[in-house]
Amino acid sequence: MSKQNQLSDIHKSKKPYIIYKSHNGFDLYTEFSKKIILNNKNIKKFLNKKPKKFLKKTDLYIGFFGYELLNNLIGIRLPIQKKINFPKGIFYKPEKKISLSNNLEYRQNKKKKFNNRFKINIDRKSYSKIFDKFKKKIRSGDTYQIKICTKYKTKSKIDPLDFFCRLSQTNLAPEAFLIRDTNYSIISCSPENLITKKGSLITTKPIAGTVKKSEKMNKIKALKYFRKNIKETKEHNMIVDMERNDLSRICQIGSVKLSMAKIVEEYKDLFHYVTLIKGKLKNNISNLEIIKAMMPGGSVIGCPKINTLNLLNHQEKENRNIYTGSFGFLKFNGDMRFNIIIRSILNYKDVSEISVASGVVVDSNANHEFNENYIKAKALIDLFK
């Protein structure tokens, strides 16, 4: 049986499974022997597991930390917000791993129609009011950059594998993943790696800067645009400095360096401004210390992180759920890879929500940032057509 047929059979069997982008294609994880639903009480115990010998490719836990859980982990309590009671985090222990190619295919028997009427939780007028509030906070020095989250929602039954295959064909992203469980699914084309740890070496790859693709805007012109644009340059420099600072808390003195600075990466509807930062971990740094230092990822929060998180949380009326949380795996030997959960669809109780955010700095324009949010959501919204 071909690997592609194995994927179709697993999907049709209704078994939970996870697909995660690898260097050469995708890795499919299934046959889960454990499912750990994380909360504020058990997360430290989960992260404090002592490293073991890594013997099999399935000697790992794979899953996600939600935004609220990561806030709580660093001592930030969220105010009362509108919730859908989705789990704060879930990790799975797989017993089977299958390597798949980049060319994922899945054919449904019938062409389904989806509800493609999305409701946005913050309209342009409301967004501008929040934007103006945050601009005042920036001018008063309470924060230097802050991200305003908007949500697009629609009620519709979806086939997550169909969505993920179509998404990977049109918008293949280096941190893409799919979780299909019995009562929810997450489909993601996340481009941003937050942590890659192998032994004592660790890297992070912040994205800060977005411009829409067009006939007049190619990759070379995008790089020139970012370099000349004061707002985009400020935003990028602040996030890179913050991520360097986060790494410096857990890395050896002098080891944190820019490995690849200010390059452009291309996606379906946009270009991103990206930097790669690397460091060497201090001796005896625990997984818990690494997660607390690096999460939530600064590039989707703002700067400085703690102040900005408090400002955001008291302004946002809805829980972010998975958005700006983190998905990835933690191997038994302590190695890990985690992304930032952006460009994602959470489907729960037949409601799909797409959350996006754009950065506000002192030079930002409310109309431009509101439109940028839609550009980021467009590749996902198009799946419902």
Please list, residue by residue across 370-379, b when 16 or more beta carbons sit within 10 angstroms of its beta carbon and e when fewer do.
bebbbbbbbb
Domains contained in the chain, CATH given: 3-203+283-288+321-384 (3.60.120.10)
CB 313 within 8 A of CB 301: no
Q: Residue 211 and residue 372: Cα distance in Å, rounded?
A: 8
pLDDT 10s digits, 156-177: 889 999 999 999 988 888 999 9
pLDDT 10s digits, 187-214: 999 989 999 999 999 999 998 888 888 8
* Highest mean pLDDT (candidates 78-87, 117-126, 333-342): 333-342
pLDDT 10s digits, 317-349: 899 999 999 999 999 999 999 999 999 999 999
pTM of the model: 0.93
Q: What are the counts of helices (DSSP H) followed by strands (DSSP E) for the chain?
A: 10, 18
Specify the pLDDT at position 111.
65
Q: Among 300-304, 337-341, 364-368, which is the least confidently predicted range? A: 300-304
CB 271 within 8 A of CB 207: no
Q: What backbone torsions phi and psi does residue 206 show, to the nearest 5 degrees?
A: -70, 140
Count of CB atoms within 10 A of residue 299's CB? Answer: 30
